[in-house]
Structure 1
Protein backbone atom coordinates (compact mmCIF):
# COMPACT_ATOMS: atom_id res chain seq x y z
CA UNK A 1 0.00 0.00 0.00
CA UNK A 2 1.10 3.58 -0.58
CA UNK A 3 2.13 6.09 2.08
CA UNK A 4 1.06 4.50 5.33
CA UNK A 5 2.24 7.19 7.71
CA UNK A 6 2.41 7.65 11.47
CA UNK A 7 -0.98 9.01 12.36
CA UNK A 8 0.08 11.69 14.84
CA UNK A 9 2.47 13.48 12.51
CA UNK A 10 1.56 16.42 10.31
CA UNK A 11 -0.13 15.51 7.05
CA UNK A 12 1.91 16.09 3.91
CA UNK A 13 0.49 18.31 1.17
CA UNK A 14 -0.88 16.62 -1.94
CA UNK A 15 2.04 16.41 -4.37
CA UNK A 16 2.24 17.51 -7.99
CA UNK A 17 2.79 14.95 -10.73
CA UNK A 18 5.85 15.53 -12.93
CA UNK A 19 7.95 13.57 -15.40
CA UNK A 20 11.02 11.94 -13.91
CA UNK A 21 13.37 10.16 -16.30
CA UNK A 22 10.47 9.44 -18.62
CA UNK A 23 8.05 8.26 -15.92
CA UNK A 24 5.33 10.24 -14.13
CA UNK A 25 6.26 10.49 -10.45
CA UNK A 26 5.93 12.70 -7.37
CA UNK A 27 8.61 14.12 -5.13
CA UNK A 28 7.74 11.58 -2.43
CA UNK A 29 9.48 8.96 -4.57
CA UNK A 30 12.28 10.91 -6.22
CA UNK A 31 13.84 13.15 -3.56
CA UNK A 32 15.72 10.21 -2.01
CA UNK A 33 16.72 8.79 -5.39
CA UNK A 34 20.45 8.26 -4.80
CA UNK A 35 19.82 6.38 -1.55
CA UNK A 36 17.16 4.26 -3.27
CA UNK A 37 19.45 3.38 -6.16
CA UNK A 38 22.34 2.62 -3.79
CA UNK A 39 20.19 0.35 -1.61
CA UNK A 40 22.08 -2.82 -0.75
CA UNK A 41 19.88 -5.81 -1.42
CA UNK A 42 20.69 -9.19 0.11
CA UNK A 43 20.46 -12.65 -1.47
CA UNK A 44 17.65 -13.65 0.91
CA UNK A 45 15.57 -10.48 0.37
CA UNK A 46 12.12 -11.02 -1.11
CA UNK A 47 10.80 -8.15 -3.22
CA UNK A 48 7.11 -7.77 -4.01
CA UNK A 49 6.73 -5.56 -7.08
CA UNK A 50 3.44 -4.32 -8.52
CA UNK A 51 1.87 -1.39 -10.26
CA UNK A 52 -0.21 0.46 -7.62
CA UNK A 53 -3.47 -1.23 -6.60
CA UNK A 54 -2.57 -4.65 -7.99
CA UNK A 55 -2.34 -6.77 -4.83
CA UNK A 56 0.92 -5.73 -3.17
CA UNK A 57 -0.66 -5.49 0.28
CA UNK A 58 -2.31 -8.86 -0.17
CA UNK A 59 0.87 -10.71 -1.14
CA UNK A 60 2.85 -8.82 1.52
CA UNK A 61 0.50 -10.15 4.17
CA UNK A 62 0.64 -13.69 2.76
CA UNK A 63 4.44 -13.76 2.85
CA UNK A 64 4.71 -12.14 6.26
CA UNK A 65 2.40 -14.79 7.70
CA UNK A 66 4.22 -17.64 5.97
CA UNK A 67 7.58 -16.56 7.34
CA UNK A 68 6.80 -15.05 10.72
CA UNK A 69 3.38 -16.03 12.09
CA UNK A 70 4.86 -18.92 14.10
CA UNK A 71 8.20 -17.29 14.90
CA UNK A 72 6.61 -13.99 16.03
CA UNK A 73 2.95 -14.82 16.69
CA UNK A 74 2.05 -11.52 18.39
CA UNK A 75 3.54 -9.31 15.70
CA UNK A 76 0.62 -9.52 13.28
CA UNK A 77 -1.68 -8.08 15.94
CA UNK A 78 0.60 -5.29 17.15
CA UNK A 79 2.82 -4.13 14.27
CA UNK A 80 1.27 -2.49 11.19
CA UNK A 81 1.91 -4.34 7.95
CA UNK A 82 3.70 -1.34 6.44
CA UNK A 83 6.34 -1.62 9.18
CA UNK A 84 6.71 -5.36 8.65
CA UNK A 85 7.01 -4.89 4.87
CA UNK A 86 8.63 -1.47 4.27
CA UNK A 87 8.01 0.48 1.07
CA UNK A 88 11.44 0.81 -0.55
CA UNK A 89 11.07 4.10 -2.43
CA UNK A 90 8.83 6.02 -0.03
CA UNK A 91 10.40 9.25 1.20
CA UNK A 92 8.31 11.97 2.83
CA UNK A 93 10.30 14.44 4.95
CA UNK A 94 9.44 14.08 8.60
CA UNK A 95 8.61 10.40 8.29
CA UNK A 96 10.83 7.31 8.22
CA UNK A 97 12.03 6.59 4.70
CA UNK A 98 11.59 3.16 3.19
CA UNK A 99 15.34 2.74 2.80
CA UNK A 100 16.00 3.56 6.46
CA UNK A 101 13.24 1.26 7.67
CA UNK A 102 14.64 -1.60 5.61
CA UNK A 103 18.17 -1.01 6.82
CA UNK A 104 16.91 -1.16 10.41
CA UNK A 105 14.90 -4.36 10.01
CA UNK A 106 16.12 -7.14 12.30
CA UNK A 107 13.96 -9.94 10.88
CA UNK A 108 15.14 -12.15 8.03
CA UNK A 109 14.29 -12.48 5.24
CA UNK A 110 13.42 -8.87 4.59
CA UNK A 111 10.13 -8.65 2.70
CA UNK A 112 10.19 -5.48 0.63
CA UNK A 113 7.49 -3.58 -1.23
CA UNK A 114 7.99 -1.59 -4.43
CA UNK A 115 5.97 -0.03 -7.24
CA UNK A 116 9.02 0.88 -9.31
CA UNK A 117 9.06 0.12 -13.04
CA UNK A 118 11.59 -2.62 -13.74
CA UNK A 119 14.24 -0.25 -15.15
CA UNK A 120 14.15 1.83 -11.95
CA UNK A 121 14.92 -1.10 -9.64
CA UNK A 122 18.22 -0.75 -7.74
CA UNK A 123 20.99 -2.76 -9.40
CA UNK A 124 21.81 -4.68 -6.22
CA UNK A 125 18.62 -6.74 -6.52
CA UNK A 126 19.93 -8.15 -9.80
CA UNK A 127 23.48 -8.54 -8.51
CA UNK A 128 22.30 -10.45 -5.45
CA UNK A 129 19.74 -12.49 -7.42
CA UNK A 130 17.09 -11.67 -4.79
CA UNK A 131 13.73 -13.40 -5.22
CA UNK A 132 11.17 -11.09 -6.85
CA UNK A 133 7.42 -11.62 -7.00
CA UNK A 134 5.58 -9.45 -9.50
CA UNK A 135 1.79 -9.25 -9.38
CA UNK A 136 -0.16 -7.86 -12.35
CA UNK A 137 -3.84 -6.90 -12.35
CA UNK A 138 -6.02 -6.18 -15.37
CA UNK A 139 -5.93 -2.55 -16.48
CA UNK A 140 -9.63 -1.76 -16.07
CA UNK A 141 -9.92 -2.86 -12.45
CA UNK A 142 -6.56 -1.27 -11.69
CA UNK A 143 -7.76 2.09 -13.04
CA UNK A 144 -10.93 1.98 -10.93
CA UNK A 145 -9.12 0.94 -7.76
CA UNK A 146 -6.40 3.56 -8.29
CA UNK A 147 -9.04 6.27 -8.79
CA UNK A 148 -10.77 5.54 -5.49
CA UNK A 149 -7.42 5.24 -3.76
CA UNK A 150 -6.30 8.64 -5.04
CA UNK A 151 -9.58 10.19 -3.90
CA UNK A 152 -9.02 9.13 -0.29
CA UNK A 153 -5.22 9.36 -0.12
CA UNK A 154 -4.04 12.89 0.58
CA UNK A 155 -0.45 11.97 -0.26
CA UNK A 156 -1.42 11.40 -3.89
CA UNK A 157 -2.09 14.10 -6.51
CA UNK A 158 -5.65 15.38 -6.82
CA UNK A 159 -7.49 12.81 -8.95
CA UNK A 160 -10.19 15.00 -10.50
CA UNK A 161 -13.30 13.35 -11.88
CA UNK A 162 -13.51 9.78 -13.18
CA UNK A 163 -13.64 10.70 -16.86
CA UNK A 164 -10.49 12.84 -16.81
CA UNK A 165 -8.77 10.33 -14.54
CA UNK A 166 -9.42 7.46 -16.93
CA UNK A 167 -7.99 9.52 -19.78
CA UNK A 168 -4.83 10.21 -17.78
CA UNK A 169 -4.57 6.54 -16.89
CA UNK A 170 -4.60 5.62 -20.57
CA UNK A 171 -1.93 8.26 -21.22
CA UNK A 172 0.25 6.93 -18.41
CA UNK A 173 0.04 10.15 -16.41
CA UNK A 174 -0.17 8.30 -13.10
CA UNK A 175 2.26 8.02 -10.20
CA UNK A 176 4.68 5.28 -11.34
CA UNK A 177 3.80 5.91 -14.95
CA UNK A 178 2.05 3.82 -17.56
CA UNK A 179 0.29 0.61 -16.51
CA UNK A 180 1.05 -0.83 -19.95
CA UNK A 181 4.78 -0.11 -19.71
CA UNK A 182 4.92 -1.37 -16.14
CA UNK A 183 3.36 -4.79 -16.67
CA UNK A 184 5.16 -5.30 -20.00
CA UNK A 185 8.54 -4.24 -18.63
CA UNK A 186 8.42 -6.72 -15.77
CA UNK A 187 7.02 -9.44 -18.06
CA UNK A 188 9.92 -9.01 -20.50
CA UNK A 189 12.46 -9.09 -17.68
CA UNK A 190 10.90 -12.27 -16.34
CA UNK A 191 11.67 -14.06 -19.61
CA UNK A 192 15.40 -13.90 -18.90
CA UNK A 193 15.48 -13.98 -15.07
CA UNK A 194 14.70 -17.12 -13.08
CA UNK A 195 14.48 -15.09 -9.86
CA UNK A 196 11.16 -13.49 -10.92
CA UNK A 197 7.78 -15.11 -10.32
CA UNK A 198 5.05 -13.35 -12.31
CA UNK A 199 1.57 -13.73 -10.82
CA UNK A 200 -1.84 -12.43 -11.84
CA UNK A 201 -4.27 -10.86 -9.38
CA UNK A 202 -7.19 -12.62 -11.07
CA UNK A 203 -5.54 -16.03 -10.53
CA UNK A 204 -5.03 -15.21 -6.85
CA UNK A 205 -8.71 -14.38 -6.55
CA UNK A 206 -9.90 -17.44 -8.45
CA UNK A 207 -7.70 -20.05 -6.78
CA UNK A 208 -5.80 -18.70 -3.79
CA UNK A 209 -4.63 -22.14 -2.72
CA UNK A 210 -3.05 -22.90 -6.09
CA UNK A 211 -1.20 -19.56 -6.20
CA UNK A 212 -0.13 -19.96 -2.58
CA UNK A 213 1.45 -23.28 -3.53
CA UNK A 214 3.24 -21.58 -6.44
CA UNK A 215 4.60 -18.95 -4.07
CA UNK A 216 5.85 -21.59 -1.64
CA UNK A 217 7.49 -23.58 -4.41
CA UNK A 218 9.22 -20.48 -5.77
CA UNK A 219 10.47 -19.51 -2.31
CA UNK A 220 11.46 -23.08 -1.36
CA UNK A 221 9.03 -23.03 1.54
CA UNK A 222 7.33 -26.13 2.88
CA UNK A 223 4.68 -24.89 5.32
CA UNK A 224 2.44 -27.35 7.11
CA UNK A 225 -1.09 -27.85 5.86
CA UNK A 226 -2.27 -26.21 9.09
CA UNK A 227 -0.22 -23.08 8.45
CA UNK A 228 -1.36 -22.81 4.84
CA UNK A 229 -4.98 -23.11 5.93
CA UNK A 230 -4.43 -20.41 8.57
CA UNK A 231 -2.83 -18.10 6.03
CA UNK A 232 -5.64 -18.60 3.50
CA UNK A 233 -8.20 -17.76 6.16
CA UNK A 234 -6.41 -14.65 7.43
CA UNK A 235 -5.85 -13.19 3.95
CA UNK A 236 -9.47 -13.44 2.85
CA UNK A 237 -10.48 -9.94 1.74
CA UNK A 238 -13.22 -9.53 4.34
CA UNK A 239 -10.85 -10.62 7.12
CA UNK A 240 -8.05 -8.30 6.00
CA UNK A 241 -10.52 -5.44 5.67
CA UNK A 242 -11.33 -5.81 9.39
CA UNK A 243 -7.67 -6.10 10.40
CA UNK A 244 -6.51 -2.76 11.82
CA UNK A 245 -2.88 -3.76 11.24
CA UNK A 246 -3.51 -4.19 7.50
CA UNK A 247 -6.47 -2.03 6.46
CA UNK A 248 -4.91 1.43 6.83
CA UNK A 249 -7.58 2.67 9.24
CA UNK A 250 -5.09 4.12 11.73
CA UNK A 251 -3.44 6.40 9.19
CA UNK A 252 -4.66 9.99 9.01
CA UNK A 253 -3.36 10.42 5.47
CA UNK A 254 -6.26 8.20 4.37
CA UNK A 255 -9.74 9.73 4.44
CA UNK A 256 -12.05 6.78 5.08
CA UNK A 257 -15.06 9.09 4.82
CA UNK A 258 -14.37 9.10 1.07
CA UNK A 259 -13.42 5.47 0.60
CA UNK A 260 -11.86 2.62 2.59
CA UNK A 261 -8.31 1.63 1.71
CA UNK A 262 -9.50 -1.92 1.08
CA UNK A 263 -12.59 -1.24 -0.99
CA UNK A 264 -13.84 -4.32 -2.87
CA UNK A 265 -10.99 -6.55 -3.99
CA UNK A 266 -13.05 -8.01 -6.83
CA UNK A 267 -12.55 -8.78 -10.50
CA UNK A 268 -14.94 -6.93 -12.80
CA UNK A 269 -15.86 -3.89 -10.68
CA UNK A 270 -14.84 -1.77 -13.69
CA UNK A 271 -18.28 -2.54 -15.16
CA UNK A 272 -19.78 -0.29 -12.47
CA UNK A 273 -17.66 2.67 -13.62
CA UNK A 274 -17.00 2.49 -17.37
CA UNK A 275 -19.61 3.86 -19.75
CA UNK A 276 -20.06 2.04 -23.05
CA UNK A 277 -18.13 4.78 -24.82
CA UNK A 278 -15.32 4.73 -22.28
CA UNK A 279 -15.06 0.97 -22.62
CA UNK A 280 -14.80 1.18 -26.40
CA UNK A 281 -12.16 3.91 -26.26
CA UNK A 282 -10.21 2.05 -23.58
CA UNK A 283 -10.27 -1.19 -25.57
CA UNK A 284 -8.99 0.52 -28.71
CA UNK A 285 -6.17 2.20 -26.81
CA UNK A 286 -5.36 -1.02 -24.94
CA UNK A 287 -5.06 -3.00 -28.17
CA UNK A 288 -2.59 -0.46 -29.55
CA UNK A 289 -0.48 -0.40 -26.40
CA UNK A 290 -0.41 -4.18 -25.89
CA UNK A 291 -0.16 -5.44 -29.47
CA UNK A 292 3.58 -6.04 -29.09
CA UNK A 293 3.13 -8.26 -26.02
CA UNK A 294 1.83 -11.80 -25.45
CA UNK A 295 0.55 -10.84 -21.98
CA UNK A 296 -3.07 -11.90 -21.47
CA UNK A 297 -5.40 -10.53 -18.78
CA UNK A 298 -8.87 -11.46 -17.64
CA UNK A 299 -11.32 -8.66 -16.84
CA UNK A 300 -14.07 -10.98 -15.59
CA UNK A 301 -14.12 -14.33 -13.82
Structure 2
Protein backbone atom coordinates (compact mmCIF):
# COMPACT_ATOMS: atom_id res chain seq x y z
CA UNK A 1 0.00 0.00 0.00
CA UNK A 2 1.35 3.42 -0.97
CA UNK A 3 0.27 7.03 -0.94
CA UNK A 4 -1.15 8.70 -4.04
CA UNK A 5 0.90 10.71 -6.52
CA UNK A 6 -1.49 12.83 -8.55
CA UNK A 7 -0.91 13.36 -12.26
CA UNK A 8 -3.09 16.39 -12.71
CA UNK A 9 -4.02 18.79 -15.48
CA UNK A 10 -6.88 20.63 -17.07
CA UNK A 11 -8.18 18.36 -19.89
CA UNK A 12 -6.14 18.18 -23.10
CA UNK A 13 -3.05 19.67 -21.48
CA UNK A 14 -0.61 16.75 -21.65
CA UNK A 15 -1.76 14.36 -18.92
CA UNK A 16 -1.73 11.31 -21.18
CA UNK A 17 1.70 12.28 -22.50
CA UNK A 18 3.01 12.46 -18.92
CA UNK A 19 1.48 9.11 -18.01
CA UNK A 20 2.89 7.48 -21.12
CA UNK A 21 6.39 8.76 -20.36
CA UNK A 22 6.26 7.47 -16.77
CA UNK A 23 4.86 4.14 -17.96
CA UNK A 24 7.77 3.61 -20.33
CA UNK A 25 10.36 4.95 -17.90
CA UNK A 26 9.35 2.62 -15.07
CA UNK A 27 8.61 -0.50 -17.13
CA UNK A 28 11.47 0.07 -19.59
CA UNK A 29 10.01 -2.07 -22.39
CA UNK A 30 11.99 -2.86 -25.56
CA UNK A 31 9.26 -1.35 -27.77
CA UNK A 32 6.46 1.19 -27.35
CA UNK A 33 3.41 -0.03 -25.45
CA UNK A 34 -0.20 0.42 -26.67
CA UNK A 35 -1.97 3.44 -25.11
CA UNK A 36 -4.62 1.32 -23.42
CA UNK A 37 -1.93 -0.38 -21.33
CA UNK A 38 -1.84 2.83 -19.26
CA UNK A 39 -4.80 1.48 -17.34
CA UNK A 40 -2.51 -1.14 -15.80
CA UNK A 41 -0.15 1.56 -14.59
CA UNK A 42 -2.25 4.51 -13.40
CA UNK A 43 -5.67 4.79 -11.84
CA UNK A 44 -8.36 7.30 -12.71
CA UNK A 45 -9.82 9.23 -9.80
CA UNK A 46 -13.25 9.42 -11.44
CA UNK A 47 -13.68 5.67 -11.98
CA UNK A 48 -16.94 4.69 -10.35
CA UNK A 49 -15.64 1.31 -9.20
CA UNK A 50 -13.80 3.00 -6.30
CA UNK A 51 -16.96 4.78 -5.19
CA UNK A 52 -18.91 1.53 -5.38
CA UNK A 53 -16.27 -0.07 -3.14
CA UNK A 54 -16.42 2.85 -0.72
CA UNK A 55 -20.23 2.65 -0.57
CA UNK A 56 -20.44 -1.13 -0.55
CA UNK A 57 -23.03 -0.94 -3.32
CA UNK A 58 -23.58 0.50 -6.78
CA UNK A 59 -23.46 4.29 -6.74
CA UNK A 60 -25.32 4.74 -10.02
CA UNK A 61 -28.11 7.20 -9.30
CA UNK A 62 -26.42 8.67 -6.22
CA UNK A 63 -26.87 12.42 -6.00
CA UNK A 64 -23.81 14.64 -6.10
CA UNK A 65 -23.72 15.20 -2.32
CA UNK A 66 -23.48 11.47 -1.62
CA UNK A 67 -20.71 11.06 -4.19
CA UNK A 68 -18.82 13.97 -2.64
CA UNK A 69 -19.04 12.37 0.80
CA UNK A 70 -17.62 9.11 -0.59
CA UNK A 71 -14.69 10.74 -2.38
CA UNK A 72 -12.14 10.76 0.50
CA UNK A 73 -12.87 7.09 1.26
CA UNK A 74 -12.69 6.13 -2.43
CA UNK A 75 -9.28 7.81 -2.75
CA UNK A 76 -8.07 6.11 0.42
CA UNK A 77 -9.00 2.76 -1.11
CA UNK A 78 -6.89 3.61 -4.16
CA UNK A 79 -3.75 3.44 -2.00
CA UNK A 80 -4.20 -0.32 -1.88
CA UNK A 81 -4.04 -0.77 -5.65
CA UNK A 82 -0.26 -1.22 -5.70
CA UNK A 83 2.30 -1.95 -2.96
CA UNK A 84 4.29 1.22 -3.65
CA UNK A 85 3.25 4.74 -4.62
CA UNK A 86 0.05 4.85 -6.67
CA UNK A 87 -0.15 7.18 -9.67
CA UNK A 88 -3.61 8.65 -10.17
CA UNK A 89 -4.71 10.67 -13.18
CA UNK A 90 -7.06 13.52 -12.41
CA UNK A 91 -8.65 16.48 -14.15
CA UNK A 92 -10.19 17.64 -10.88
CA UNK A 93 -9.35 20.96 -9.35
CA UNK A 94 -8.34 21.12 -5.68
CA UNK A 95 -11.13 22.32 -3.43
CA UNK A 96 -14.27 21.12 -1.71
CA UNK A 97 -17.77 20.05 -2.69
CA UNK A 98 -20.49 19.78 -0.06
CA UNK A 99 -17.88 20.07 2.69
CA UNK A 100 -15.75 17.17 1.43
CA UNK A 101 -12.33 17.54 -0.24
CA UNK A 102 -12.01 16.83 -3.93
CA UNK A 103 -8.43 15.69 -3.29
CA UNK A 104 -7.75 13.74 -0.10
CA UNK A 105 -4.56 15.27 1.32
CA UNK A 106 -4.31 12.57 4.01
CA UNK A 107 -3.44 9.90 1.44
CA UNK A 108 -1.42 12.13 -0.91
CA UNK A 109 2.37 11.95 -1.32
CA UNK A 110 2.70 14.55 -4.08
CA UNK A 111 1.54 15.81 -7.44
CA UNK A 112 2.83 16.60 -10.92
CA UNK A 113 0.70 19.23 -12.62
CA UNK A 114 0.92 19.90 -16.36
CA UNK A 115 0.00 23.38 -17.61
CA UNK A 116 -0.65 24.28 -21.25
CA UNK A 117 -1.34 27.57 -23.01
CA UNK A 118 -5.14 27.97 -22.74
CA UNK A 119 -5.28 29.31 -26.31
CA UNK A 120 -4.09 25.88 -27.47
CA UNK A 121 -6.09 23.97 -24.87
CA UNK A 122 -9.34 25.45 -26.14
CA UNK A 123 -8.77 24.07 -29.66
CA UNK A 124 -7.94 20.54 -28.54
CA UNK A 125 -10.63 20.43 -25.85
CA UNK A 126 -13.34 21.69 -28.21
CA UNK A 127 -12.53 18.83 -30.59
CA UNK A 128 -12.46 16.29 -27.75
CA UNK A 129 -15.80 17.32 -26.24
CA UNK A 130 -17.62 18.00 -29.49
CA UNK A 131 -18.04 21.70 -28.75
CA UNK A 132 -17.51 24.80 -30.81
CA UNK A 133 -14.51 26.89 -29.86
CA UNK A 134 -16.85 29.61 -28.58
CA UNK A 135 -18.54 27.06 -26.33
CA UNK A 136 -15.18 25.83 -25.06
CA UNK A 137 -13.99 29.38 -24.39
CA UNK A 138 -17.09 29.82 -22.24
CA UNK A 139 -16.55 26.51 -20.41
CA UNK A 140 -12.96 27.45 -19.61
CA UNK A 141 -14.31 30.63 -17.96
CA UNK A 142 -17.05 28.83 -16.00
CA UNK A 143 -16.24 28.41 -12.27
CA UNK A 144 -18.86 25.64 -12.04
CA UNK A 145 -17.71 23.60 -15.04
CA UNK A 146 -17.87 19.82 -14.68
CA UNK A 147 -17.17 16.89 -16.98
CA UNK A 148 -18.08 13.22 -16.99
CA UNK A 149 -20.80 11.44 -15.13
CA UNK A 150 -21.97 8.10 -16.55
CA UNK A 151 -22.25 4.44 -15.63
CA UNK A 152 -18.48 4.09 -15.35
CA UNK A 153 -17.38 7.52 -14.14
CA UNK A 154 -18.47 10.02 -11.54
CA UNK A 155 -18.42 13.73 -12.36
CA UNK A 156 -15.18 15.67 -12.22
CA UNK A 157 -15.17 19.27 -11.01
CA UNK A 158 -13.01 21.39 -13.29
CA UNK A 159 -13.85 24.95 -12.37
CA UNK A 160 -12.54 27.60 -14.72
CA UNK A 161 -9.07 27.22 -16.26
CA UNK A 162 -7.38 29.85 -14.08
CA UNK A 163 -8.87 28.54 -10.83
CA UNK A 164 -8.06 24.98 -11.81
CA UNK A 165 -4.39 25.73 -12.44
CA UNK A 166 -4.09 27.93 -9.36
CA UNK A 167 -5.74 25.34 -7.12
CA UNK A 168 -2.87 22.95 -7.86
CA UNK A 169 0.04 25.34 -8.25
CA UNK A 170 -0.84 28.25 -5.97
CA UNK A 171 1.20 26.88 -3.09
CA UNK A 172 4.77 25.95 -3.91
CA UNK A 173 6.24 23.08 -1.95
CA UNK A 174 8.41 19.96 -2.15
CA UNK A 175 5.39 17.79 -2.91
CA UNK A 176 4.46 19.60 -6.12
CA UNK A 177 6.10 19.80 -9.53
CA UNK A 178 4.49 22.05 -12.14
CA UNK A 179 5.62 21.52 -15.75
CA UNK A 180 4.62 23.27 -18.94
CA UNK A 181 3.41 21.31 -21.95
CA UNK A 182 5.54 23.55 -24.13
CA UNK A 183 8.70 22.59 -22.23
CA UNK A 184 7.85 18.90 -22.55
CA UNK A 185 7.75 19.51 -26.30
CA UNK A 186 10.69 21.89 -26.74
CA UNK A 187 13.04 20.84 -23.91
CA UNK A 188 12.21 17.17 -23.45
CA UNK A 189 15.44 15.90 -21.91
CA UNK A 190 15.56 18.67 -19.30
CA UNK A 191 11.83 18.60 -18.52
CA UNK A 192 11.32 14.84 -18.37
CA UNK A 193 14.60 14.51 -16.51
CA UNK A 194 13.22 16.92 -13.89
CA UNK A 195 10.07 14.80 -13.64
CA UNK A 196 12.15 11.68 -13.01
CA UNK A 197 14.26 13.51 -10.42
CA UNK A 198 11.13 14.78 -8.65
CA UNK A 199 10.07 11.15 -8.19
CA UNK A 200 13.49 10.26 -6.79
CA UNK A 201 14.56 8.43 -9.94
CA UNK A 202 18.00 8.63 -11.50
CA UNK A 203 17.65 6.66 -14.74
CA UNK A 204 20.61 6.19 -17.08
CA UNK A 205 20.51 8.67 -19.94
CA UNK A 206 19.74 6.00 -22.53
CA UNK A 207 16.74 4.76 -20.52
CA UNK A 208 15.44 8.31 -20.10
CA UNK A 209 15.87 9.06 -23.81
CA UNK A 210 14.12 5.82 -24.77
CA UNK A 211 11.12 6.63 -22.54
CA UNK A 212 10.94 10.10 -24.12
CA UNK A 213 11.14 8.62 -27.61
CA UNK A 214 8.54 5.90 -26.94
CA UNK A 215 6.13 8.54 -25.59
CA UNK A 216 6.65 11.00 -28.44
CA UNK A 217 3.53 12.29 -30.16
CA UNK A 218 4.36 10.60 -33.45
CA UNK A 219 4.74 7.24 -31.73
CA UNK A 220 1.50 7.76 -29.79
CA UNK A 221 -0.37 8.56 -33.01
CA UNK A 222 1.01 5.41 -34.63
CA UNK A 223 0.10 3.31 -31.60
CA UNK A 224 -3.44 4.70 -31.58
CA UNK A 225 -3.79 3.95 -35.31
CA UNK A 226 -2.68 0.35 -34.75
CA UNK A 227 -4.34 -0.45 -31.42
CA UNK A 228 -6.97 2.22 -30.79
CA UNK A 229 -7.34 4.05 -27.49
CA UNK A 230 -10.24 3.72 -25.08
CA UNK A 231 -9.92 7.35 -23.94
CA UNK A 232 -10.71 8.68 -27.41
CA UNK A 233 -13.87 10.74 -27.35
CA UNK A 234 -16.78 9.69 -29.55
CA UNK A 235 -16.68 13.26 -30.87
CA UNK A 236 -13.11 12.98 -32.19
CA UNK A 237 -11.54 11.05 -35.03
CA UNK A 238 -8.52 10.42 -32.81
CA UNK A 239 -7.26 11.21 -29.32
CA UNK A 240 -3.74 12.21 -30.37
CA UNK A 241 -4.78 14.92 -32.80
CA UNK A 242 -1.94 17.41 -33.45
CA UNK A 243 0.11 17.72 -30.28
CA UNK A 244 1.96 20.90 -31.18
CA UNK A 245 2.04 24.12 -29.21
CA UNK A 246 1.36 27.45 -30.86
CA UNK A 247 -1.59 26.32 -33.02
CA UNK A 248 -3.88 29.10 -31.89
CA UNK A 249 -2.78 32.06 -34.10
CA UNK A 250 -4.10 30.33 -37.21
CA UNK A 251 -7.27 28.98 -35.64
CA UNK A 252 -8.76 31.40 -33.10
CA UNK A 253 -10.48 34.63 -34.00
CA UNK A 254 -9.27 37.91 -32.54
CA UNK A 255 -12.33 38.00 -30.28
CA UNK A 256 -11.73 34.47 -28.99
CA UNK A 257 -8.12 35.37 -28.21
CA UNK A 258 -9.23 38.54 -26.44
CA UNK A 259 -11.72 36.67 -24.27
CA UNK A 260 -9.16 34.07 -23.21
CA UNK A 261 -6.36 36.54 -22.59
CA UNK A 262 -8.62 38.88 -20.62
CA UNK A 263 -10.20 36.18 -18.45
CA UNK A 264 -6.97 34.32 -17.71
CA UNK A 265 -4.40 37.11 -17.89
CA UNK A 266 -2.84 36.65 -14.44
CA UNK A 267 -2.24 32.91 -14.68
CA UNK A 268 -1.11 33.15 -18.30
CA UNK A 269 1.45 35.76 -17.29
CA UNK A 270 2.65 33.62 -14.41
CA UNK A 271 3.42 30.72 -16.73
CA UNK A 272 4.92 32.81 -19.52
CA UNK A 273 2.00 32.79 -21.94
CA UNK A 274 1.67 36.59 -22.02
Shorter-normalised TM range:
0.7 to 0.9
Corresponding position: 1:51 with 2:10: yes
Alpha carbon RMSD of aligned pairs, Å? Answer: 3.4
Aligned to 1:255: 234
How many residues are paired up?
237
Distance 2:223 2:31 in 1: 14
Corresponding position: 1:213 with 2:193: yes
- Structure 1 gaps of 5+ residues are 1-40, 152-158
Aligned to 1:234: 214
Aligned to 2:170: 188
Deviation at 1:276, TM superposition (A): 1.5
- Structure 2 gaps of 5+ residues are 53-57, 60-70, 96-101, 147-157
Deviation at 1:79, TM superposition (A): 5.8
Please point out which of 6, 15, 24 is paired with 1:65. 24
Task: Give the match's secondary structure for 2:270.
Answer: coil
Please point out which of 267, 270, 273 is paired with 1:295. 270
C-alpha distance after superposition, 1:121-142 (max 9, x if no partner): 112234xxx1311111111111
Distance 2:23 2:12 in 1: 19
Aligned to 1:137: 116
Deviation at 1:195, TM superposition (A): 0.8
TM-score (norm 2): 0.74
Aligned to 1:168: 139
Alpha-carbon distance change, 110 to 162 in structure 1, aligned in 2, over 3 angstroms = same
Q: Is the 8 A contact 1:136 1:201 kept in 2?
A: yes
Aligned to 1:25: none
> Of Structure 1 and Structure 2, which has the larger fraction of its residues in helix?
2
Alpha-carbon distance change, 125 to 271 in structure 1, aligned in 2, over 3 angstroms = farther
C-alpha distance after superposition, 1:166-210 (max 9, x if no partner): 223223453312110011121212x2x311111111111110100
Distance 2:28 2:125 in 1: 30
Deviation at 1:42, TM superposition (A): 2.8
Task: Give the match's secondary structure for 2:92.
Answer: coil
Distance 1:239 1:81 in 2: 15
Off by >6 Å, runs of 4+ in structure 1: 92-95
Alpha-carbon distance change, 85 to 261 in structure 1, aligned in 2, over 3 angstroms = same
